[in-house]
Amino acid sequence: MSTEEVKETASVLSVHDDSIKVTEVLKEGDTLTFIIVSQKLSGTGEYHVDRTYEDFEWLQQHLFSQGDVPGIQGVIFPPLPAKPQVNASPRSIKQLGFLALGECQPYCKALETFLQQVAAHSILSKNKAVEVFLTSSDPPGRQKVKKNIFNRLSQAVEEMRKEGHKDVDEFFQNERDHNLILTGCTKTAAEKFLDVVATEQKIAVACGHFSTALHLCVEPGEDPDKQAFSRVCVKLSEVFESIKKNMTSVAENNVNTLGLGLDLESRYQEAEREMLFRRTCKLVELENAQRNVEKAKPVKKAAMEEVKKAAETEFEHTSGVAKQEIARFQGARVEMLQQALVGWCEKQLLTAKESADQFNQHLEVFRGMA
């Protein structure tokens, strides 16, 4: 290949997308730094880079601002988790949901998934920013990127009305209706599951207290009946220590499998919703342009026609990409949920079996007691 051709082709990612791992997170005061490792495509070797959350945002901004890529607005962008905080406020914790739990593993996993999905995306992976993010030993630039086209920050009343705008395509109308319902349901399910996990953790803590308090009942002395009671207390303390461990495992399993799954599904549904909204906006633009052509005075007609043609093209590109994205998304999410459910079930089954064994052992001990 000649050097000119290399310059014209888009960037090709030089790592295996499924090899990308967020291996650890370092805390320095209030800053969190994530270590990202990925395997080189060619030959052996790895890239090790350290990135902060701002770097992730930089990457996302670059992906959003690819205005020159046709149909980019039809892409369902892999969702980036919300910003983590070292001493998180209650609101931040609520926003992060499952990702706020544990010692950062759920959060790291979510970042990892984000990167893997970006790297695996046929359109997005071609953006140079992805290569830079994953391979450059220097932190990517922190300069403000030019204003991106995805500012949906202000939910003005007008914007909300656009969301309900009737579609011209039945496929898309169905998809929009369905997405709306599913987004709500998934979010609710994730929230309620989080409540379950929180209560499980409380139970674990209470069991720990009980276990500790039982030790206070142990009395010295040679009185055989007193010793009998002391033995009972010690053994019961061990029982509750087991129960505590079991509960903790159950809660962890919940978070690491189904919890993460529901969280990702929820954020992805939101991402699809945003894409569909962008397309709807394009539709509104197109319909406005069409009306303008009809209303235009002969002097302006040609110009309006140009505008209409541009809008039409953009809408068609967007819809085309959107259809592909939706098909891919529907397949991917089912697979993702299946993995989450299977993984969850297997883990809980294992924990339950271990727990049953432990109870059996404790039971033997008590039955054998004089």
Partner 1 sequence: ALTTGNMAASSDRNPPPFPTAEESEPGLCDMADADSDEGEDIFVSNVGSRFGDTSNKLTCVFRFALSQSQKACIFFISQLTCIQEEEAKDSFDVDVAVTNPEKVGDGMNAYVAYKVSTRTSLPMFRSKVFSVRRRFSDFLGLYEKLSVKQSLHGCIIPLPPEKSVVGMTKVKVGMDDPSSVEFVERRRAALERYLQRVVSHPSLLQDPDVREFLEREDLPRAVNTQALSGAGFLKMINKASDAVNKMTIKMNESDTWFEDKFQEVENEEQQLRKLHVVVDSLVIHRKELCGNTAVFAKSLAMLGNSEDNTALSRALSQLAEVEDKMEQLHQEQAASDFFIFAELLGDYIRLLGAVRGCFDQRMRAWQRWQEAQSTLQKKREAEAKLLWANKPDKLQQAKEEITEWEARVTQYERDFDRIGMTVRKEVLRFEKEKAKDFKSQIIKYLEAMLQSQQRLIKFWEAFLPEAKAIA
Contact residues for partner 1, defined by CB under 8 A = 178, 181-182, 185-186, 188-189, 191-193, 195-196, 199-200, 202-203, 206-207, 209-210, 213-214, 216-217, 219, 223, 225-226, 228-229, 232, 235-236, 239, 243, 330, 334-335, 337-338, 341-342, 344-346, 348-349, 352-353, 355-356, 359-360, 362-363, 366-367, 369
**Whose Cβ is closer to partner 1: residue 127's or residue 269's?**
269
Q: Measure the CA–CA gap between 266 and 255, rounded to whole angstroms.
A: 15
Helix H or strand E segment including 227: helix 224-254
In the bound complex, what is the minimum distance in angstroms from residue 351's beta carbon to partner 1? Answer: 9
**Whose Cβ is closer to partner 1: residue 169's or residue 238's?**
238
**Whose Cβ is closer to partner 1: residue 18's or residue 223's?**
223
Q: Measure the CA–CA gap between 117 and 211, rounded to whole angstroms.
A: 45
Maximum C-alpha span of the chain: 111
Determine the residue type at 306: E
In the bound complex, what is the minimum distance in angstroms from residue 170's beta carbon to partner 1? Answer: 15
DSSP state of 69: S
Q: Measure the CA–CA gap between 204 and 247, rounded to whole angstroms.
A: 6
In the bound complex, what is the minimum distance in angstroms from residue 245's beta carbon to partner 1? Answer: 13
Determine the residue type at 355: S
In the bound complex, what is the minimum distance in angstroms from residue 370's beta carbon to partner 1? Answer: 9
In the bound complex, what is the minimum distance in angstroms from residue 192's beta carbon to partner 1? Answer: 4
**Whose Cβ is closer to partner 1: residue 236's or residue 296's?**
236
In the bound complex, what is the minimum distance in angstroms from residue 185's beta carbon to partner 1? Answer: 4
Chain-centre distance for alpha carbon 115: 10
Contact 131, 14 (CB under 8 A): yes
Residue-wise over 324-358: b if at least 16 C-beta within 10 A, else e? bbbeebeeebeebbeebeebbeebbeebeeebeeb
- 248 Cβ partners below 8 Å, 6+ apart? 201, 204
In the bound complex, what is the minimum distance in angstroms from residue 94's beta carbon to partner 1? Answer: 16
Q: Measure the CA–CA gap between 150 and 133, rounded to whole angstroms.
A: 21
**Whose Cβ is closer to partner 1: residue 121's or residue 333's?**
333
**Whose Cβ is closer to partner 1: residue 108's or residue 275's?**
275
**Whose Cβ is closer to partner 1: residue 265's or residue 285's?**
265
Enter the tokens of residue 237.
């303390």
Helices 128-135 & 105-120 angle (0-180, nearest 10): 140
**Whose Cβ is closer to partner 1: residue 160's or residue 334's?**
334
Task: Classify residue 18 as exposed, middle or buried by CB count within 10 Å of its CB (0-12, 13-18, 19+).
Answer: exposed
Q: How many helices (H) and strands (E) does the chain have?
A: 10, 3
In the bound complex, what is the minimum distance in angstroms from residue 286's beta carbon to partner 1? Answer: 28
Count of all residues that appear for the chain in the document: 370
**Whose Cβ is closer to partner 1: residue 19's or residue 355's?**
355
Contact 197, 250 (CB under 8 A): no
In the bound complex, what is the minimum distance in angstroms from residue 368's beta carbon to partner 1? Answer: 11
